[in-house]
Amino acid sequence: MIRIGIADAHGIESYLPEKEARVGILTLRASLNRQRHALVYKIDVTEMEDNHIKEFIAAEKYMDALKYIKIKCKNVSVQKGYEKSWKLIPNHDLDPWY
């Protein structure tokens, strides 16, 4: 199943089913928060991976959710040109206002 959302220095900001994701709006929101290395990601997850990520989000463990995606999920893509930010996040210290 495909999930799309925004990730940044603080972890997962959003995690939506592909048919609910408004990529244009997400891209605009991410671009307005580049100081946090925000970007739009797209992943193809298994049902088990999806459940784990939702559990992290429900527990407000947004950094753990992103770390899990980066370690466990094989099919991940990010906005072209944002690959360097993907490698740097999650990291609270990247947010100049944190």
Q: Where are the alpha helices (DSSP H) in the chain?
A: 23-31, 47-58, 62-72, 83-88
Identify the pLDDT of residue 25: 96
Mean pLDDT score across all residues of the chain: 96
Q: What's the average model confidence in pLDDT over 48-74?
A: 97
Residue 68 phi/psi, 5-degree rounding, is -60, -45
Percent of the chain surpassing pLDDT 90: 93
Identify the pLDDT of residue 8: 97
Amino acid 24 reads: G
Identify the pLDDT of residue 97: 85
Q: Kindly report, residue by residue over 13-59, the tens digit of the pLDDT.
A: 999 999 999 999 999 999 999 999 999 999 999 999 999 999 999 99
